[in-house]
Structure 1
Amino acid sequence: MTRTMGPDDLLLAHGLGGSQYLPVPLTAVLIGGAWALTISFAVIAFAWKRPRFGKPDAGRPLPQWVTRFVDNRWVRSVVAGAALVLTVWLVIAAFGSDVDENPLPGAFYVLLWVGMIVVSVLIGPVWRLLSPVRTVLRAAGAVLHREIGIRAYPDSLGWWPAAFGLFAFVWLELAYPHSSSLSAVRIWLLVYLIVTLVGGLVYGLRWTSNADPFAVYSTVASRLSPFARARDGRVVARNPMNSLGTLPIRAGTVTVLAVLLGSTAFDSYSAFPSWQGWVDDRAQGSDVIDTLLNTAGLLVFIGVVALTFWGAARAVGGIDPGKRRLLPGQMAHSLIPIVIGYILAHYLQSLVEQGQEALHALGDPLGKGWNVLWLSDMHPEYVMSSHPTFTVTLKVVFVVGGHMLGVAAAHDASLRLLPRRQQLTGQLTMMVTMVFYTFLGLYLLFGG
């Protein structure tokens, strides 16, 4: 992400905080986080004997008017239409000057990427409604009086197209040296729109649900939302841990989560002076070599997450090879709290502070002196930069809390999936892996 400067230059690149603001030494944070996870696992293992979650019908139905309001055709049309208007507004910004005040990069990297996960966690998979391509396809279907699409979406594809799309996004952000340039964002979005629109015309709305990287990203985050749909379509409030188990098990699911977690970890690592110096020494000013080295680093981090989780999920005895082969997908939902916790720890400061700047810039995308919706009158407040100790403490809470929820989800899934004799021992490798994720995540956030 682009570096944003607040008053007194307090905001650090990528929204990262320094270990000097931690209320206790970094070593204590690392050891404490690992112990918190280990102790919570021990308590859960001996006090939690039966599966409690993974019930799709769990939850308390909200008043019927809530469901009627959410499903109201006019309400949904207004929201989708507003999102389409914002898209057109950003298209206008794409033809503006490539200056820091252009709102497109900020809207792309901050409002869309980080804001999406926050809104999805709070209320559900919002991209299904906000997607401009999906809105256009639905409108076309209404005009033609038939569903768009000429063939069925292949189940074998699963979430693989979305995994590649998510990798393309994080590659642009983290590996390409000119990621904040207007031309780079413009080209990426053009390719995304073409692929999503053509895929939708061929495979219908199922393409926009399974292959659109932002749709899958929103779906993953929504599994920690306190709101969900019952089988009869009614909106219910329920423990998000029950929603975790409803994550679709499709080809590419583990890869999607590995891309999200591994890329965020690499974003932290790539800010280390040692890495930056190593890359600069070898690139010698060459953008190609710089890109190749950062691409290799990004792939290493994603690969480590994918391989360690895949190995930990399969490292259980007493079951036949066929069932063991399914375990990574069946356990993948336990990574969601870890992914969300780490993304929030890493990017929340950017959303709060750079997000204000992006909204401010939307008031005048072409630098013509406009003040649309009075957005140009905004004065960004760098509240998190002004309270660094609170900010870094909140980041520790997000990381450790996300991992503790992940341990609980993995334990509950093990009780449902593993034979009785392996229900405890079969979790040990997963537990060690999550401790490793916790230790590494905290070190990457504050060790640089």
Structure 2
Amino acid sequence: MTTGPTTELLAHGLGGSADLPIPVTYALVGAAWALTFTFAVVALAWKKPRFDPATQGRPLPQWVTAAVDSPAVRWTIAVLALLLAVWVGVATVAGPQTGENALPGVFYVLLWVGLVALSVLIGPVWRLLSPVRTVYRLLPMSRRRPPAAYPVRLGYWPAAFGLFAFVWLELASPDPGSLTAVETWLLVYLAVTLVGTLVFGTRWPSNADPFEVYGIAASRAAPFRRNDDGRIAVGNPFDHLPSLPVRPGTVAVLAVLLGSTAFDSFSAMPGWRGFVDDVSSGSVWLAVLVRTLGLLTFAVVVGVTFSLAARATGGVDRATRRELPGLMAHSLIPIVIGYVFAHYLTYLIERGQQTVLRLADPFGSGWLGDAGVSYLLSMHPAVLATLKVGFVVLGHVAGVIAAHDRALRVLPKRHQLTGQLAMMLVMVGYTFTGLYLLFGG
């Protein structure tokens, strides 16, 4: 990630391979073997599909559902979220126009990383927290049929472009910590989302809002869901993962998320930085172009390799083969979540504290006294490095299990094992590459 005085907040505190309690080579080989062993076990012992999105969870007490669905509760949370968005705007304009401003932290930490954590723990919370949805609900036209129907062929593609725009700002733009850049991005996002919602109704944010779609994908790993009768229940996340809607652009969304996280680590490597400096020869915009092409390449490689691996099976017709990447896409969700927490755990907890403190006192009045940031994780680098490896490996193991179970359901019986070999090789490659990049090669 680009460094500089305005981007101090964006440092992830990832450390390096020296922080590992074991040599990085052992971690790489061990992770690859763990993934291979998992595949071998499930391939031999797992002969019938076990996960089904139609499986009902264990319902929580009725009062939980009643409280969550209460109009008073939902409106209170939505209005508080809207007021918080307004407060962030006020704090941005009235606060210091330097790296001490709270906006970059709200944007890159609380919104981008915090949204994933909340969605994994609770569910698709952005549907309730979105200021655009709240404003739309307050308008009389929200109670009428929208002027136009959302084109089915667009699917999640607008969200994929929106997510790429976000990671481009963070990883390829000239100055990702610039208040002007972040403000411009947010204003464009709010304008596009509001206009799209006014035209297409809530179908627009459900398909095109990058934060909502990101939250929907992450929420498929949450333990909470709705039963068919509307009751909030607790169940196996593996039953919930396949409920990810399969629409045009589903694979693209996950490829952008996974590819951008890998590029984040890659872009911090000295070799890449030196290459960018040599090619750009001091030209800022040429450097932006090179980084943009690098970021795009990572996303495309993830999307292409996953799609080819999903289609690499026999015994299916052409139409089914085209559908396989979408049908298998949910297996990428645990991998994406694993990488997010591996990369941004310190970022979320420690920079998140800093952001909350800045947001609580944007004018520097000093009313917080001696309140400061606790750097507990950074003070124990070996523990932190082990957690990073664990998140990556567990994410991939969960992905292998989810992919195997779906393959048993959608592939012909004669090809249920051989049809997964290409996917297994791709996931081993993702694991090896991800850990190698995470710890700086």
Provide TM-score, normalisation by structure 1.
0.95
In the other structure, the counterpart of 2:312 is 315
Task: Give the partner amino acid of 2:408.
Answer: L
In the other structure, the counterpart of 2:61 is 63
In the TM superposition, what is the alpha-carbon distance from 1:368 to its structure 2 partner?
5.1
Inter-partner Cα distance in structure 2 for 1:193 and 1:285: 34
Contact 2:136 2:142 in 1 (8 A): no
Inter-partner Cα distance in structure 2 for 1:17 and 1:56: 42
Task: Give the partner amino acid of 1:64.
Answer: Q
Does residue 87 of structure 2 align to residue 89 of structure 1?
yes
Q: What percent of counterpart residues are identical?
A: 61
> For 1:95, what is the secondary structure of its paired residue?
helix
In the TM superposition, what is the alpha-carbon distance from 1:148 to its structure 2 partner?
6.2
In the other structure, the counterpart of 1:386 is 379
> Any stretches of 5+ residues in structure 2 without a counterpart?
none
The 5 Å alignment of 1:12-411 reads 13-96=11-94, 97-141=96-140, 146-147=143-144, 149-365=146-362, 367=363, 369=365, 371=367, 374=368, 378-411=371-404
Query: How far does the alpha carbon of each residue in 1:100-128 deviate from its partner, in whole angstroms, 9 at most, with x for none?
Result: 11000000001100000000000000000
Question: Are the structure 2 counterparts of residues 280 and 53 from structure 1 closer, same or farther at C-alpha, using a change threshold of 3 Å?
Answer: same
Question: Are the structure 2 counterparts of residues 355 and 428 from structure 1 closer, same or farther at C-alpha, using a change threshold of 3 Å?
Answer: same
Question: Are the structure 2 counterparts of residues 145 and 35 from structure 1 closer, same or farther at C-alpha, using a change threshold of 3 Å?
Answer: closer
Moved more, 49-58 or 70-79: 49-58
Inter-partner Cα distance in structure 2 for 1:207 and 1:409: 29
In the TM superposition, what is the alpha-carbon distance from 1:156 to its structure 2 partner?
1.1
Contact 1:148 1:205 in 2 (8 A): no
Question: Are the structure 2 counterparts of residues 200 and 95 from structure 1 closer, same or farther at C-alpha, using a change threshold of 3 Å?
Answer: same
Contact 1:4 1:354 in 2 (8 A): no
In the other structure, the counterpart of 1:432 is 425
> For 2:143, what is the secondary structure of its paired residue?
coil
In the TM superposition, what is the alpha-carbon distance from 1:177 to its structure 2 partner?
2.1
In the other structure, the counterpart of 1:419 is 412
Inter-partner Cα distance in structure 2 for 1:108 and 1:186: 10
Provide TM-score, normalisation by structure 2.
0.96
Inter-partner Cα distance in structure 1 for 2:421 and 2:186: 43
> Any stretches of 5+ residues in structure 1 without a counterpart?
none
Report the aligned-residue RMSD. 1.8
Contact 1:334 1:407 in 2 (8 A): yes
For these two proteins, the number of residue pairs brought into alignment is 438
| 1:445 corresponds to which of 422, 438, 441 | 438
Moved more, 146-155 or 115-124: 146-155
Task: Give the partner amino acid of 2:335.
Answer: I
> For 1:164, what is the secondary structure of its paired residue?
helix
Contact 1:26 1:447 in 2 (8 A): no
Contact 2:266 2:440 in 1 (8 A): no
Contact 2:261 2:339 in 1 (8 A): yes
Query: How far does the alpha carbon of each residue in 1:21-78 deviate from its partner, in whole angstroms, 9 at most, with x for none?
Result: 1111010000000000000100010001110102323311111111101101111111
Contact 2:10 2:177 in 1 (8 A): no
> For 2:378, what is the secondary structure of its paired residue?
helix
In the TM superposition, what is the alpha-carbon distance from 1:447 to its structure 2 partner?
2.9
